Structure 1
């Protein structure tokens, strides 16, 4: 029997964020990981050819430069860095036109003005409001446990706060239509809103301010997404902690009503002095410790967890030359764009794509975003080569069965590549050195808690956002079981690469056990004007 101060289930970036913070606080932490490597949703591999590196899940670290992890953990000292490209995003259309989003606000508005001066002015106003003025509020909301709406309203006042809260009255399409008038620009931002696995339901518009605040803040981790968990792992090991790889947790054990250990599949036991925290999905965690320990309402919610109607199917390609888009004739800055959307030309096509995903069909309209990472960071490919990907939206069960992703893999891969070729003029066979399709079924295989290819570990819908993620009784990372905490992507503010669930859990655990923190917690959200 091995004993640590705390035991964390899952060595993805959220679990390792919690482990790193508590290591700084002087605790000796064990992290249990069923896979043979750390990373979870922040994984990087070379599945095609040597030197061609691909991020199999997370690629765009949205707004990560504003994360408290950067300075609190001094991640640069442990091998993590990122690049924030000057040309952030673009959307290219079949007629050869494109919209380009720069870090430079004036250049962005110049691009938008080619379609609509009104929309360019609106973008400028929204950027100043959400990406600049209200940035501290959005950061405090991200890195604190979600508050009940009544408490949040008590802390927010004034016309800007009223406008902020009004987004909960909209769905994803109506909130975009509220602000923008040009169909192409509406199409771009409607697609952008779906990227984080948000589904179009009444109330889903509440995510707009946070998503919009990062529209010019996408970052690429140098060397691969796995560089983040590797840096967190080094902090853990420096503090005397350990990750147990290839170890599957069968059960969370109780002692005198308190979570006190984990039992592995081989029946070995790892004891915890203070706590057990789960960085895997909440439904599985509940089953590991016993459904009967949770209220009927929690059991019902987690047993009916909505994993999502759409996932992502990713075509990874090893290239000789980077993709060249025909819309460079319209705006040559697209050559430098990091994140590029294509496949959709109208709002109706966006709606059609997600309707097909909901109906479990391979979409007639393949649409999504992708990047050529090696154009931003040369370490993603060997000299004389490039690594690129495109991940259109797709259902987990496709055309009747998830197994069709395996059985018809070549067919789906060619369909996706052919659509990409409609926009990029140089993706012919002589430029493609290798290609492979990472499907929603593969997502689940690599990360078993991303059930049904749920890349965010549960859809972003109003009933699974804010204090409802995963349930109001669990949203603070604390649970009804003493010593048991949640810190995975299905927890409050989880689902993206931000470390928020791990950070929130670290503050909760240090508070509950009166452990001194060598960091200053992010202040509670407040807005008065």
Structure 2
């Protein structure tokens, strides 16, 4: 419902949220639950940010534009508290959350059970896996709210200290110190590589441990019918609370929203500068300009005539598959990317949702997508390299491809302005920028203008479909509005 004049839409509203990704919608829902009037303004005609779905290849084949595996959705206090199933959301749990194929034709499998996963690793790595992951999974209800939060005094210090002892180090260091075999090392390294950092950097181990703990504790689910159903359910719930949604309007100047009590922006720091920079102090503007984004991604979506023919039977049952056989191979790939080089054998993250959700394709058909990391802003076509990695572990894969759709890093940013340089994580999450994103402030969601708040993944806890950045930003905004 685009319109040239936004004044009547925001005038008299307690809050306006700019951007309709999971963080923006989480912020809006939190405000609405507190009894505040709220309007979400979205630049695109379709809601959802990175959680959108579309027929990218052939009619009837539903692809997710970015996120598919919602590994943090059920671990998030913000999202799991919402009655989204009453608004059409159904999450599908793959039989095996994650598989990591090896060159000998086998695969390391991360099962929902820690014991079953450890049994597959054999000893001594199985015993080491139990010692490492067992305590984290047993206390996941204490751990996950702590890691999905800004820096603060922990409510469960013993659990957080145990996690910190293992996680505040590099993934390569943790893998080599705890495991002897290539399978266990690769399993940890592949999970840590979601950080998009070099695997010899701190705290990549923490990223891997969080994702693996989530896989055991709550799973790595898909949304039945596509990730669009996540935001559709959130939007439906927001509207049931009296919230409003406006699409097709890009906010270019903060003055457009002066009729609202507070404004929360689900945008990247550079967009925040462009929209409202004149209202900020010089040090804050400097911090936003210095904010660092990480590598980009190259993504390919496939319409397939059948399931991917993995050599390892276990990989055929997995929702997510990591490609890159060894820790050493993953180390080289992520090192190349972070030093501005194109890897010949990139680490590939692949999902095959129709193995567990056939509603996404016509009868007998399948969809899959994969992406690899590339230097920020790279327009190099990685299709052949990605498909070579798939074919390496699934001979005959290319024969199944009916159609493909690709997006390089600049095209990812064109589709979502928050993905600066193709960075889908919303910024580097190293020690310098983990809790101080986007600037060093007592409350990272506030800005020097008391009416304006940042609720994107450029604030803690960073990237992922969890809604926690929006939740915490809304809490800060409610204090400004005088609400609970």
Matched, 1:44 2:53: yes
Q: Which of 224, 234, 259 is the aligned partner of 1:271?
A: 259
Q: Does 1:76 align with 2:85?
A: yes
Deviation at 1:208, TM superposition (A): 4.8
Contact 1:143 1:504 in 2 (8 A): no
Classify 1:53/1:490 alpha carbon distance in 2 versus 1 (closer, same or farther; 3 Å): same
Where do 5+ consecutive residues of structure 1 fail to align? 254-262, 264-268, 517-529
Q: Is residue 2:292 matched to residue 1:306? A: yes
| 2:215 pairs with 1:219 | no
- TM-fit CA distance, 1:499: 0.5
Q: CA deviation at 1:118?
A: 1.7
Q: Cα distance 1:196–1:475, how it changes in 2: closer, same or farther (>3 A)?
A: farther
Matched, 1:281 2:268: yes
What does residue 475 of structure 2 align with? 507
Q: How does 1:115-134 map to 2 (within 5 A)?
A: 117-133=123-139
Q: Within the alignment, does 1:485 sit opposite 2:465 as a pair?
A: no
1:153-232 correspondence runs (5 A): 157=157, 161-167=160-166, 169-200=168-199, 201-216=201-216, 217-232=219-234
Separation in structure 2 between the aligned mates of residue 83 and residue 440 of structure 1, nearest angstrom: 29
Alignment partner for residue 325 of structure 1, among 305, 310, 321? 310
Counterpart residue number, 2:387: 417
- TM-score normalised to structure 2 length: 0.91
TM-score (norm 1): 0.84
Whole-angstrom distance in 2 between the partners of 1:103 and 1:169: 24
Report the equivalent of 2:375: 395
Q: Give the 3 Å change call, closer, same or farther, for CA 351–286 of structure 1 in structure 2.
A: same
SS at match of 2:15: strand
For residue 421 of structure 1, report the CA deviation from its aligned partner: 1.2
Stretches of structure 2 that go unaligned for 5 or more consecutive residues are 1-6
CA distance in 2, matches of 1:14, 1:172: 28
Partner SS, residue 321 of structure 1: coil
User: Structure 1 residues 278, 292: closer, same or farther in 2, change over 3 A?
Assistant: closer
Find the aligned partners of 2:398 and 2:481 in 1 and give their Cα distance. Answer: 60
Q: Tell me, yes or no, if the aligned pair for 1:371 and 1:388 is still in contact at 8 Å.
A: yes
- Give the deviation of 1:199 after TM superposition: 4.2
Residue 203 of structure 1 and its aligned partner are, at CA, apart by: 4.3
Count of equivalent residues: 472
Structure-2 separation of matches of 1:436 and 1:169: 38
Deviation at 1:380, TM superposition (A): 1.3
Asked whether 1:436 is paired with 2:416, we answer: no
Deviations 1:281-338 (A, max 9, x none): 1332133222562352x33332122111x3222221111111011122xxxx332111
Q: Deviations over 1:426-468 (max 9, x none)?
A: 3233x221112222222101001211001011122111112x1
Distance 1:375 1:208, change over 3 A: closer
Q: Report the equivalent of 1:522.
A: none
Deviation at 1:103, TM superposition (A): 1.3
Residue 141 of structure 2 is matched in structure 1 by 136
- Alignment check: 8 A CA contact 1:87 1:103 kept: yes
Distance (whole Å) between structure 2 residues aligned to residue 209 and residue 335 of structure 1: 24
Distance 1:102 1:167 in 2: 21
Whether the aligned pair in 1 keeps the contact of 2:74 and 2:80 (CA below 8 Å) is no
The match for 2:251 is 249
Q: Aligned equivalents of 1:313 and 1:397: distance in 2?
A: 10
Taking a change above 3 Å as real, the CA distance of residues 499 and 96 of structure 1, as seen in their structure-2 partners, is same
Secondary structure of residue in 1 paired with 2:397: coil
The aligned counterpart of 1:449 is: 418
* 2:358 equivalent to 1:378: yes
CA shift in 2, pair 1:497/1:161, >3 Å: closer
Q: State yes or no: 1:462 paired with 2:464.
A: no
Aligned to 1:354: 334
Q: Distance in 2 between matches of 1:475 and 1:8?
A: 18
> What is the CA–CA distance in structure 2 between the aligned matches of 1:295 and 1:249, rounded to whole Å?
23
Q: For the structure 1 residues 474 and 317, does the alpha-carbon distance in structure 2 shift closer, same or farther, using more than 3 Å as the test?
A: farther
What residue number does 1:527 align with? none
Post-superposition shift, 1:74? 0.7
Residue 166 of structure 1: CA displacement?
A: 2.9
SS state at 1:462 partner: coil
Q: 1:313 aligns to what SS in structure 2?
A: strand
Higher strand share: 1
Structure 2 SS opposite 1:338: strand
Give the SS at the match of 1:464: coil
Distance 2:263 2:100 in 1: 44
Task: Quote the RMSD (CA, aligned, Å).
Answer: 2.2
Match of 2:69 in 1: 60
Q: How far off its partner does 1:47 sit?
A: 1.2
Query: The residue matched to 2:341 in structure 1 has which SS?
Result: coil
